[in-house]
Structure 1
Amino acid sequence: MNTITPTLTVTIFMSLTLLIMKLLIKKTQNLTHTKHIMMLMFIISLIPLSLLLNNENETMLSSPPIIYMTTTNISISLILDTFSLTFIPVSLFITWSIVEFSIWYMSTDPYINKFIKHLLTFLIAMLIIITANNMIQLFVGWEGVGIMSFLLIGWWYARSDANSAALQAIIYNRIGDIGLIMTTAWLMSSSSMNMQELFTQHETMSIIPLMGLVGAAAGKSAQFGLHPWLPAAMEGPTPVSALLHSSTMVVAGVFLLIRLHPIMQNNITSTTCLILGATTTLFAAASAITQHDIKKIIALSTTSQLGLMMTMIGLNQPKLAFLHMAMHSFFKALLFLCSGSFIHNLGGEQDIRKMGNLNKNLPMTSSMITIASLSLMGMPFLSGFYSKDTIIETMTISHINSWALMLTLVATMLSAMYSMRIINFTLTNFPRTKQKIHQENKTLAKPTLRLTLGSILAGTMTKLSTLQTTSTMTMPTTIKLSALTITIAGILLSTDLMFLSPHQPPKKPKTLTLFFNQLAFFNMIHRAAPMKTLKFGQQISTELVDLWALENYGPKGLSNSTIKMIHTTTQQKNLIKNYLTTFTLTIILTLVLMMSK
């Protein structure tokens, strides 16, 4: 295993790099070979995973030092452990499906080659984060996913909303990146940037670099306070949303904390993660209920699930957070691809209030989005159930977090409500707008069917492979069934509300400005400071510079300064009456003198 695993991992990296270079060189070509190479990479990545499941060994691969420094030498170093070897196949599988979907969805785009190239670069940046064994390498991948998200969210750059969303994403991430840069600088000066050396110093770790890590994760994973960029990122094409929200970018923040968890054995850090995660999961779920844009609902659902992962890190359960991260990737990618199919078929319509009866017109996509939604809710024996149910049970048997448990249970009920809301509005009743339905073809069916199988079977396969010797936990039946009970209550409540609304008189749909609907008014708050700064700058430049500086020191100031000098050196006083009087008197006097002669 010590030779096979690193060799195959490096092969995956090299193959993806060569594929991007090929797309770069050949501008027009058939993209079918791209998805075939992605499929091959996924199959190759399963070999190290199967070896890991049999042997439970961790491998490291390091190059000779590239940069020599007085305190530490920087080299390329890969860590191939349970986390990296499990998540590499997951991210490859999802990217393979999304690339195949993109070939259909973006077929009319003139720059589709460039688009696929960006998606693959995004994947490589994420793989660098997953396998990084030192902070510098992790930072390279971290900035890589940031810049690729900026390029992909702003793909349709002619739209002002897409530009502002891309800028929003990069600026919010820069706020979080300050924490990571600070932590890296701290570790470079006082400790080590190599992760193995870091883990041995967990008892002496200061609180400042740890809070920097939490800040970095909060920015990248859109936790409460730095959350508005994630729903705004829906301005990008749907395949971008699917990749961004499932296996890249947003999970990078949570993965950072999972990877560096051994040094985060600090009560303040854990409590911060717990409070931040529980607040985010409830707030995002409540916000999702108030939205009408199908992609924004699914985006806020991602934020809610990321909050759940952050809560687990706060409860000292990084492996459970990682399990939910892996399971969540499948059904979240599927939700986005199915919503993309709906949007494509409805001519770009994203408002769920204007959809309806799609289960008759698009039966396959409707079945798949239903399975993905049930998996998100945590219905028994689907992928989401194995991670979400375990998370809630783990929180239940802890004595210290009843507040976080209560928030998580409410968020679970709300997640069932917004999932049922999507199903009720899009699939049932009658068509509310004119629908231009395309036939569901093989190109669309293959990637979505794969992700559906993943959403159904991934949890069961994980349980069969890794959780064979589980410890027996004894708890009351009511507590054991609490998550399922709450989910069913959410479904019933959502359906009940759905039956109430059609009996209202027909009127034009309007969007109310509410606390949750406006994402706690963070957009307004965060935009107020730049707006005030711009206005202040404008007033200084126009009023202060023009009216004061130019008046005093410009042409008028110059004339004012020269007047006194003129007055001292000449009799000219600029008094026209005096001049005229003197001129007239002189003429008269001259005439009189001439006449007298």
Structure 2
Amino acid sequence: MNLPLTAVTCYSLSMLTLLFPLISPTSSHFHKNTKTAVKTAFFISIPPLFFMINESFQTTLISWKWFSVLATPLDFSIQIDQYSMLFSPIALLVSWSIVEYSLWYMHNDHKIQLFFKYLLIFLLAMMLLVSAGNLLILFIGWEGVGIMSYLLIGWYFTRSNAGAAALQAVLYNRIGDIGFLFAIFWLISNFDSIDFNLLFAMNPPTPLIIAFIIAAASKSAQFGLHPWLASAMEGPTPVSALLHSSTMVVAGVFLLIRIHPLIKDNSTALSTCLCLGAISTVFAATCALTQNDIKKIIAFSTSSQLGLMVVTIGLNLPHLAFFHICTHAFFKAMLFLCSGSVIHNLNDEQDIRKMGGLQKSLPITTSCITIGSLALMGTPYLAGFFSKDAIVESINTSNVNAWALIVTLIATSFTAVYSLRIIFFASLSFPRFNPLIFSNENNSTAMNPIKRLAVGSIIAGLFLNQTLIPSSPMTLTMPLYMKIAALLVSIMGFLIAIDLAQISWTKVSHQNLSKSINTSFYPSIIHRSTPSSFFNFSLNTSSHLIDTLWLEKMGPKGLASSQLPPVMKNQEIQQGLIKTYLSILVASLIICLIILQLA
């Protein structure tokens, strides 16, 4: 069978299937048609994946002439390779589950059709980003997911926090866009090409690669550009699941994977990725430990896992970063959907301290939360184990920055602590909510997506491990303690979490650590102190420098003050003694006449 032709055909059919509900006349069943379209696109994208597993597959590039800038042709280029063929079915499967879940979660929203249109456009932009053959098409998909994330995060626009969170996401992503555009313009002006195949043959300067890293850091919420990720929880839960599982937030890491041939020989870029990822993963894990909002705990865990992916890029292992993207998509989307189910059944309660005992009233949801949390911890034979175990093994056998690697291992142990904290507060102990609240799991539209993702969280790691990890036999020479390091770190975090549960989690805390350590004081520093300082500086500049100095002291007051001294001198000389002045005048005239007569 002609695998490239099959891959291109299936990709084209998938995109057309997703596009069909948008171009067809709007009907009252648009939201249901959207679910059918995403489901159909998923099944269409599967055949090339199985053929790729059984046969060797080379990259297929489809290019259409579009336009030119100077001497640089800017084509509409689509690249079908291992990454796009494997990621597309995963993104479509996760999106199918989220779209189906949204039918239940958003059924009372009177703008549900517009909501599903936004979801479809978001998914189309993500598919375009994944399969882009050059930087221009990737940037179009990049901006597409950014714009739609703004609209989806701010869906509840009547709430001020939602509008502020949407604007915050846009502003932080604009920083990355500056880096991305700088790289594109530099390549156009100096290299006359932005196609990946041609870029990989060049030796780029370090500032160009740093610009790409800045772009990735803003989109993937790395340290310094991270506050928007937790704020994005103001959007509906399906939006949180879509943005923070397999789509928008991994776009930055996916960019680094795409341009990895440019990074692999640049020690500065690799060290930057390693250190940035290590700092991001440990601070996000620390923030997750102090949160009480169930959605924000999961959001910070996403940021921590993104930092782990960037660390893997810094270790020169892009295929492991991509492996973790794929496994992470299943259990993270499931955790968000489970949190939405809990919040919905508890009348919009998101504080985990007001939950408890849900294993009796919501057994399926709490079971899936447990599966997702265990997969996030890296429990053996679940999806997260295969990718995290390989990453931790690579960390232990590498010879790069030791402190960054130690910090990453500490963050990995923190993962077990906050994962068990969710299980402890949500599922175990006694109920801490209103006993009159009625909760049930009878709606198959809500439960089927969660069950589907739970199956993926269990078996996806094994399947992807056989697909992505090289099948050639390798001689394992690492010591046993290195081999089981990931498991040991998770067990250590698990034991710490159990100890904390017995000591402090059951006591009333008089300190609100969720606000004091929240995103490492960034809301106070970046969003309040810095704008306040700039505002005061601008106010002083306008009032003291422009208004006081120019308009007053150098204007009317300046003119008056410059003319006042000579006037005062004249006043001192001319004191109004008219007789004296007349006598002096007469005396002066007489003296002048005498002098003239004598002459």
What is the TM-score of this pair, normalised by structure 2?
Answer: 0.88
Cross-structure match for 2:241: 242
Q: Write the distance in 2 (CA, Å) between the matches of 1:234 and 1:337.
A: 13
The residue that corresponds to 1:479 in the other structure is: 482
Aligned to 2:60: 60
Alignment of 1:552-567 (within 5 A): none
How many angstroms apart in 1 are the aligned matches of 2:551 and 2:231? 43
- State the Cα distance separating 1:547 from its structure 2 match: 7.2
| Change in CA separation of 1:538 and 1:403 when aligned onto 2, cut-off 3 Å | closer
* Alignment of 1:214 onto 2:217: no
Structure 1 match to 2:76:
76
Residues 1:511 and 2:512 aligned together: yes
Alpha-carbon distance in structure 2 between the residues aligned to 1:81 and 1:459: 20
Residues 420, 491 of structure 1: 8 Å contact kept:
yes
Distance 1:28 1:539, change over 3 A: farther
| Number of residue pairs aligned between Structure 1 and Structure 2 | 556
User: Alpha carbons of 1:405 and 1:385: their partners in 2 closer, same or farther (altered >3 Å)?
Assistant: same
Correspondence for 2:130: 130
Shift of 1:545: 7.3
Aligned-residue offset at 1:533: 2.7
| CA distance, structure 1, for counterparts of residue 373 and residue 286 of structure 2 | 17
CA offsets, 1:438-487, max 9 Å, x none? 32121111101110010001011123445443423122222211211111
Report if aligned partners of 1:6, 1:59 keep a CA contact under 8 Å in 2: no
Give per-residue Cα distances to partners, 1:306-343, cap 9 Å, x unaligned: 11110111010000000001100110000000001111
Q: Which amino acid aligns with 1:8?
A: C
SS in 1 for 2:4: coil
1:431-446 matches, within 5 Å, as 431-434=431-434, 436-440=437-441, 441-446=443-448
Deviation, 1:64, is 3.2
- 1:231 aligned residue: 230
CA distance in 2, matches of 1:303, 1:30: 34
Do the aligned partners of residues 52 and 503 (structure 1) sit closer, same or farther apart at CA in structure 2, a change above 3 Å counting? closer
Structure 1 counterpart SS, 2:79: strand
2:10 is the alignment partner of 1:8? yes
Cα distance in 1, alignment partners of residues 13 and 59 from structure 2: 16
> Separation in 1 of the partners of 2:310 and 2:95?
24
Q: Is residue 454 of structure 2 the alignment partner of residue 426 of structure 1?
A: no
Whole-Å Cα distance in 2 between the matches of residues 502 and 198 of structure 1?
53
Letter in 1 for 2:196: M
Residue type at the aligned position of 1:5 = A
CA separation in 2, counterparts of 1:521 and 1:438? 37
Instruction: Give the structure 2 partner of residue 174 of structure 1.
Output: 174
Aligned equivalents of 1:118 and 1:273: distance in 2? Answer: 33
Q: Distance in 2 between matches of 1:503 and 1:306?
A: 31
Would you say the 8 A contact 2:31–2:112 is kept in 1?
A: no
Partners of 1:420 and 1:352 lie apart in 2 by 12
1:120-171 Cα distance to aligned partner (Å, 9 max, x none): 1111111111111111111111111111111111111111111111111111
1:195 counterpart residue number? 196
Mapped to 2, the partners of 1:144 and 1:361 lie a distance apart of: 40
The one-letter code sitting in structure 2 at the alignment partner of 1:452 is A
Offset of residue 29 of structure 1: 2.4
Q: Which amino acid aligns with 2:12?
A: V
Alpha-carbon deviation of 1:208?
Answer: 1.3
Q: Percent identity?
A: 47
The farther-off stretch of 397-406 and 344-353 is 397-406
- 1:414 and 1:490 in contact (8 A); partners too: yes
Aligned with 2:495 (options 484, 492, 504): 492
Asked if the contact 1:60/1:77 (under 8 Å) is kept, the reply is: no
Structure 2 counterpart of 1:166, one-letter code: A
Tell me the alpha carbon deviations over residues 46-76 of structure 1, each in whole angstroms, 9 at most, x when there is no partner: 1111122222222434343110344221111
**CA–CA separation in structure 2 for the residues paired with 1:399 and 1:483:** 18
Paired position in structure 1 for 2:390 = 390
Contact 1:58 1:79 in 2 (8 A): no
Distance 1:502 1:242 in 2: 27
Do the aligned partners of residues 263 and 465 (structure 1) sit closer, same or farther apart at CA in structure 2, a change above 3 Å counting? closer
1:523 is matched with 523
The separation in 1 between residues aligned to 2:338 and 2:316, in whole angstroms, is 35
Q: Compute the displacement of 1:543 (Å).
A: 7.3
* Shift in CA distance, 337/551, structure 1 to aligned 2, threshold 3 Å: same
Give, as a single letter, the amino acid of the residue that structure 2 aligns with 1:531. S
Structure 1 unaligned segments of length 5 or more: list them: 561-597
Looking at structure 2, the residues matched to 421 and 165 of structure 1 have their Cα atoms a distance apart, in angstroms, of: 26
**Corresponding residue number in structure 2 for 1:352:** 352
Asked if the contact 2:165/2:234 (under 8 Å) is kept, the reply is: yes
Q: 2: distance between equivalents of 1:325 and 1:371? A: 18
Residue matched to 1:534? 535
| Corresponding residue for residue 19 of structure 1 | 21
Distance 2:141 2:361 in 1: 42
User: 1: CA distance between counterparts of 2:129 and 2:429?
Assistant: 45
Change in CA separation of 1:552 and 1:502 when aligned onto 2, cut-off 3 Å: closer
Q: 1:454 aligns with which of 453, 456, 476?
A: 456
Alpha-carbon deviations, 1:180-234, whole Å to 9, x = none?
1111111111122011001112xx2111110101110111111111111111111
Summarize the Cα distance change of 1:403–1:502 in structure 2 as closer, same or farther, 3 Å threshold.
closer
What is residue 297 of structure 1 aligned with on the other side? Answer: 297
SS in 1 for 2:155: coil
Distance in 2, matches of 1:513 and 1:405, equals 27
Partner of 1:157: 157
Name the CA distance, whole Å, in 1 between partners of 2:177 and 2:314: 21
Contact (CA 8 Å) 2:343, 2:350: kept in 1 or not? yes
- Name the CA distance, whole Å, in 1 between partners of 2:427 and 2:358: 5
CA distance in 2, matches of 1:359, 1:421: 15
Counterpart residue number, 1:591? none
SS in structure 2 of the partner of residue 26 of structure 1: coil
Q: Aligned partners of 1:59 and 1:512: how far apart in 2?
A: 50
Correspondence for 1:50: 50
Distance 1:387 1:248 in 2: 18
Specify the SS of the correspondent of 1:57.
Answer: coil
RMSD across aligned C-alpha pairs, in angstroms? 2.5
Paired residue type of 1:110: H
Q: Is the 8 A contact 2:17 2:40 kept in 1?
A: no
Aligned partners of 1:298 and 1:367: how far apart in 2?
16
Task: State the match for 2:28 in structure 1.
Answer: 28
- Does the 8 A contact of 1:234 with 1:299 survive in 2? yes
Task: Report if aligned partners of 2:63, 2:78 keep a CA contact under 8 Å in 1.
Answer: no
Residues 24-54 of structure 1 show CA distances to partners (whole Å, capped at 9, x for unaligned) of x426325323212211110110111112222
Deviation of 1:377 after TM superposition, in Å, equals: 0.3
Aligned letter for 2:534? T
Cα contact 2:30–2:113 (8 A) shared by 1? no
1:62–1:75: 8 Å Cα contact kept in structure 2? no
Q: What is the CA-CA distance between 1:400 and the residue it aligns to?
A: 2.7
Structure 2 unaligned segments of length 5 or more: list them: 561-599
Counterpart contact for 1:6–1:61, Cα < 8 Å:
no
Which whole-Å CA distance do the structure 2 matches of 1:80 and 1:502 have between them? 50
2:64–2:77 contact (8 Å) kept in structure 1: no
Paired letter, 2:494: I
User: Counterpart of 1:374?
Assistant: 374
Distance 1:53 1:242, change over 3 A: same
Equivalent position amino acid for 1:194 in 2: D
Going from structure 1 to structure 2, the CA distance change for 1:429 and 1:71 (only over 3 Å counts) comes to: same
Does residue 469 (structure 1) correspond to residue 510 (structure 2)? The answer is no
C-alpha displacement at 1:393, in angstroms?
0.6
Between 1:531-540 and 1:146-155, the stretch displaced more is 531-540
- SS of 1:66 mapped into structure 2: strand
Contact 2:21/2:30, CA 8 A, preserved across alignment: no
- Cα distance between partner residues in 2 of 1:220 and 1:458: 26
In the alignment, the residues of structure 1 paired with residue 281 and residue 69 of structure 2 have an alpha-carbon distance, to the nearest angstrom, of 43
